[in-house]
Amino acid sequence: MSETTIPLQFRAAGAADVEAVVALVESAYRGEASRAGWTTEADFLDGRRTGADDIRTQLARPRSLILLAEAGGALIACAHVAVEDEAGYFGMFAVAPGRQGGGIGKAVLAEAERIARDDFGQATMRMTVIDIRDELIAFYERRGYRRTGVFKPFPYGDARFGLPKRDDLRFEVLEKPLRTEVTA
């Protein structure tokens, strides 16, 4: 499916969307269903990827929203967009496994960047990615993100973030400028 044939509608999630967002994120990252796409983490993480508690917390935060992408009335992608540490933050990005690879993710990322820049007034977007995810990091690098060399520990022992199958997981911070500063 080409990018031009997918008419996406974007909107912010509300309380009625919580369970659908959880189901979408879980399907993209965990279990056998996730293997239909290329974003699966099933080879190195079991357990949950997110939960209704996480989604409700993000919905209640100021300068935070869950961006939904729908096509034909069906939820097909989502992402968390917020302001953290004086920059835009992009996370909890999921595209339905059977819809990956057709440009939906690129469109969602672009809309999230627009929200961070235009609605939240941020000049930079940041995200954290498990650093063994070479293919995923390459996807972001092709979209202007750079590896910062800043690492954050994986929260081992906290089942809210999954059940690791290996002991070398950590996050790397990726960053992209959203606008250039004009000086007089």
Query: What is the pTM assigned to this prediction?
Result: 0.90
Q: What domains does the chain contain, in order, with CATH numbers? A: 7-177 (3.40.630.30)
pLDDT beneath 70: ranges in the chain = 1-6, 180-184
pLDDT at 180: 54
Other beta carbons within 10 Å of 2: 7
pLDDT at 4: 42
Nearest of 147, 113, 107, 115 to residue 130 by alpha carbon: 147
* Cα distance between residue 70 and residue 30, in whole Å: 21
Nearest of 52, 60, 63, 62 to residue 17 by alpha carbon: 52
pLDDT at 3: 43
pLDDT at 40: 79
The residues, any chain, with a CB within 8 Å of residue 63's CB and separated by 6 or more, are 82, 83, 120
pLDDT at 38: 77
